[in-house]
């Protein structure tokens, strides 16, 4: 396939670019002349599906009635992004991006390229996947220039640098690497820039493609970059020394290096009291452990370690499972897979139908399964708790990872009981300890750094967060909040 594509490019190079592009019905070419006799003609070329016709008629065509060279025309057109070139590949590339090419007289080599592209993008709205009650309600869209504009409005600094690249032999996807000079580590910037430039793939439709291709371990199910559609999370990452990757056509930007601890951090934590924020973070961590181990413990204890169950609870379990014909492992897998099928169906169907299916389907199927004696009431409660807990993470991609991990742990619990669960835990911790993001440790608490206590496990008051996280190797270590003084209590005496 690659050979055929390259041979097509070689054959196209042997014909003029006008002949090549004229094979498409939406490519328009025509000639015009001025009112003066013996005036040389202007030749105009563009794709009608890519330009804004009102700009063409109001700001370009009126100037083509004058006897102007391309240089003179370039100085008078009230349009930004004008350039004169004779490079065939550049002319074709710009025409395919919404430019108009203008030739003057008999000169069939030089072209004036005018940018009148019709850039259609979604209206800026609130984040869909990371919605919060408090804080900014503005999310990214699919237009890269709009996203960079939103970031620059929050950080109007000359130190905010943007490196743009083009990736994808067919899609020609624009990618921007954004970082704060003097904050981000140069090694991290060079690493991520080199990895993006090394991408060899035809079509890059979304930032998820880039995330998978620049990951340290492409086989790991853990996201090694943080995808986000929130502007406040992106700006906070830049200020801490992270690097942002914006992909044209994707509403999710990537933050790197990433930490697994950050998947438990929601931006709403910074808009409430630090005590409440810390409580919610520990609640999310507990939900992560609960969603993975609650059903494996059910299988292991009922299959091998039923003596660990208190007598009164054992009586309830025996009564609940007395008419269930299947062993615990079949019971658990049946119910877990049923819940996953309901989730997938709810995601793939239209939004209104999907919501109805998720609610009604879960209630009806759950009730029917219990009445049919295919599972116990207690297991239905446990699976429901585990499902709710799997969605407590602040990052949606990490929720998918949690949904997958519990299945191999359930199988290990069936084979060797609690020992299998602890073996699964050890394997999981070993993998996380070996995992890196841009060469930096994926677990923020290993190796132990004092700054991880300030804003990873718990969220201390802002006045006590004097240093940036050292795991990112920031050039500027101290924050500007170093000299914040907390006001004392008001005095009861008038002075």
Domain that holds residue 479: 451-483
Does residue 335 belong to any structural domain of this protein?
yes
111 and 216 fall within a common domain = no
Does residue 134 belong to any structural domain of this protein?
no
Does residue 6 belong to any structural domain of this protein?
no
300 and 410 fall within a common domain = yes
E strand intervals along 288-446: 436-437, 440-441
pLDDT of res. 246: 94
Does residue 409 belong to any structural domain of this protein?
yes
Burial classification of residue 37, based on how many CB atoms lie within 10 Å of its CB (0-12 exposed, 13-18 middle, 19 or more buried): exposed
459 and 408 fall within a common domain = no
Angle, helix 274-303 to helix 418-434, in steps of 10 degrees? 140
Cβ neighbours, 10 Å, residue 235 = 19
459 and 432 fall within a common domain = no
pLDDT of res. 495: 46
Does residue 132 belong to any structural domain of this protein?
no
pLDDT of res. 318: 79
69 and 167 fall within a common domain = no
- Split the chain (495 residues) into runs of 10 and give each run's mean pLDDT: 49 67 87 61 87 86 81 85 87 88 84 86 81 83 89 89 89 90 88 92 89 90 90 90 91 90 85 88 89 90 84 79 82 86 77 66 72 79 86 85 90 90 92 88 72 73 72 66 56 52
pLDDT of res. 39: 54
108 and 73 fall within a common domain = yes
Residue 393 structure tokens:
């993470």
282 and 412 fall within a common domain = yes
97 and 235 fall within a common domain = no
- State the Rg of the chain over Cα: 30
374 and 323 fall within a common domain = yes
Does residue 135 belong to any structural domain of this protein?
no
Does residue 495 belong to any structural domain of this protein?
no
204 and 179 fall within a common domain = yes
Q: How many domains does the chain have?
A: 4
Q: Which residues of 39-64 are buried (b: 16+ CB within 10 A; e: fewer)?
A: eeebbbbbbeebbeeebbeeebeebb
pLDDT of res. 408: 92
Residue 429 structure tokens:
């911790």
Last residue within a domain, chosen from 200, 230, 258: 258
Contact 435, 216 (CB under 8 A): yes
279 and 408 fall within a common domain = yes
| Alpha-carbon distances, residue 4 vs 9, 80, 317, 388, 477 (angstroms) | 9, 38, 65, 50, 53
Question: In Å, how far from its chain's centre is CA 67?
Answer: 51
pLDDT of res. 472: 65
Sign of the four-CA dihedral 191, 202, 24, 109: positive
Q: Determine the Cα–Cα distance for residues 392 and 118; give it in Å rounded to an integer.
A: 40
Phi, psi of 256, deg, nearest 5: -145, 150
Does residue 205 belong to any structural domain of this protein?
yes
328 and 363 fall within a common domain = yes
């Amino acid at each position: 396939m690659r050979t055929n594509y390259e041979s097509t490019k070689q054959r196209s190079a042997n014909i003029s670019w006008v002949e090549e592009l004229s094979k498409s019905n939406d490519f328009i070419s025509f000639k015009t002349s001025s009112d003066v006799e013996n005036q040389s003609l202007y030749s105009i070329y563009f794709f009608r599906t890519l330009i804004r016709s009102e700009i063409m008629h109001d700001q370009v065509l009126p100037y083509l009635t004058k006897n102007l060279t391309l240089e003179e025309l370039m100085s008078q057109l009230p349009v930004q992004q004008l350039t004169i070139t004779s490079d065939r590949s550049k002319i074709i590339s710009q025409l395919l991006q919404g430019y108009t090419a203008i030739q003057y007289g008999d000169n069939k080599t030089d072209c004036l390229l005018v940018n009148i592209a019709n850039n259609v993008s979604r209206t800026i709205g609130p984040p869909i996947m990371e919605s919060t009650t408090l804080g900014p309600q503005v999310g990214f869209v699919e237009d890269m220039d709009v996203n960079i504009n939103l970031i620059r409005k929050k950080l109007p600094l000359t130190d905010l640098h943007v490196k743009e690249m083009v990736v994808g032999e067919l899609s020609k996807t624009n990618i921007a690497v954004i970082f704060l000079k003097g904050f981000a580590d140069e090694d991290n910037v060079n690493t991520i820039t080199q990895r993006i430039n090394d991408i060899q793939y035809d079509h890059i439709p979304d930032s998820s493609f880039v995330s998978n291709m620049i990951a340290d371990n492409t086989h790991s199910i853990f996201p090694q970059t943080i995808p986000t559609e929130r502007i406040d999370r992106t700006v906070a990452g830049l200020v801490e020394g992270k690097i942002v990757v914006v992909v044209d056509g994707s509403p999710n930007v990537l933050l790197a290096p990433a930490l697994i601890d950050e998947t438990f951090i929601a931006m709403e934590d910074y808009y409430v009291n630090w005590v409440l924020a810390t409580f919610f973070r520990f609640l999310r961590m507990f939900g992560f452990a609960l969603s993975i181990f609650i059903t494996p413990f059910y299988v292991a204890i009922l299959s091998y370690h039923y003596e660990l169950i208190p007598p009164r609870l054992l009586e309830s379990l025996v009564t609940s499972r007395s008419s269930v014909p299947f062993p615990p492992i079949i019971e658990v897998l049946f119910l877990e897979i049923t819940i996953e099928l309901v989730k997938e169906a709810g995601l793939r169907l239209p939004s209104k139908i999907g919501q109805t299916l998720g609610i009604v389907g879960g209630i009806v199927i759950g009730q029917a399964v219990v009445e049919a004696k295919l599972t116990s009431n207690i297991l239905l409660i446990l699976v429901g708790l585990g499902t709710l807990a799997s969605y407590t993470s602040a990052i949606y991609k990490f929720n998918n990872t949690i949904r997958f991990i519990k299945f191999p742990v359930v199988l290990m619990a069936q084979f060797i009981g609690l020992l299998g669960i602890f073996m699964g835990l050890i394997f999981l911790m070993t993998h996380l300890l070996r995992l890196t993001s841009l060469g930096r440790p994926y677990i923020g608490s290993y190796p132990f750094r004092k700054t991880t206590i300030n804003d990873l496990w718990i969220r201390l008051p802002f006045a006590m967060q004097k240093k940036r996280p050292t795991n990112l190797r920031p050039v500027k270590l101290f924050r500007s909040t170093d000299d914040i003084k907390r006001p004392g209590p008001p005095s009861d005496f008038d002075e």
